[in-house]
Structure 1
């Protein structure tokens, strides 16, 4: 049975830690209180979906772009708490798809 790689598990764990302690997306979310996403499950779900959709691994399961995946998820969070924030580049459909 195939399992998630240690590299991916570590990236997901670290992303979760940063979200939970308010430090995800440095420097994009510095000084921004995004705790409201913990009261809106779909907003948090979307952040995790973006992270999971964007993350890339090589053939050995080594994560290649954890910081970029985190940045894209942080852009979603920033837009959620600040409607004037413009996501650049705009999200593509595959990035925000919920599976």
Structure 2
């Protein structure tokens, strides 16, 4: 029986995740969509923050060598969720598909 090959996340994905986390934490994620919007309440509701990260991770795409191809789009989709969480009048366009919001 062959030993399983263990894969690590690519440096590109690791960098995209780190950058996304930095922007979430310092209040600058999803600009200009979240410009001037205080979304700090998501830090008090773990499931809201979890959902934003799930959307980012579900939407992000990498090529065959692990280079992230759509970090800004993944960030924007997560930002749309955050905006809809803090602003009931905001309508996500296009609406989220099930695969985007699944929690694994």
TM range (shorter): over 0.9
**Runs of 4+ in structure 1 displaced over 3 angstroms?**
none
| 1:94 CA displacement | 0.2
Aligned partners of 1:67, 1:26: CA distance in 2, in Å?
Answer: 10
The answer to whether 1:62 aligns with 2:62 is no
TM-score (norm 2): 0.95
Aligned partners of 1:74, 1:28: CA distance in 2, in Å?
Answer: 7
Aligned partners of 2:57, 2:15: CA distance in 1, in Å?
Answer: 13
Unaligned runs of 5+ in 2: 1-5
Unaligned runs of 5+ in 1: none
TM-score (norm 1): 1.00
| 1:64 CA displacement | 0.1
CA offsets, 1:22-70, max 9 Å, x none?
Answer: 0000100000000000000000000000000000000000000000000
Aligned partners of 2:101, 2:78: CA distance in 1, in Å?
Answer: 9
Decide which structure has the larger Cα Rg and report it: 2
Find 1:11's aligned residue among 7, 10, 16. 16
Aligned partners of 1:2, 1:81: CA distance in 2, in Å?
Answer: 37
Aligned partners of 2:36, 2:100: CA distance in 1, in Å?
Answer: 26
Aligned partners of 1:10, 1:34: CA distance in 2, in Å?
Answer: 23
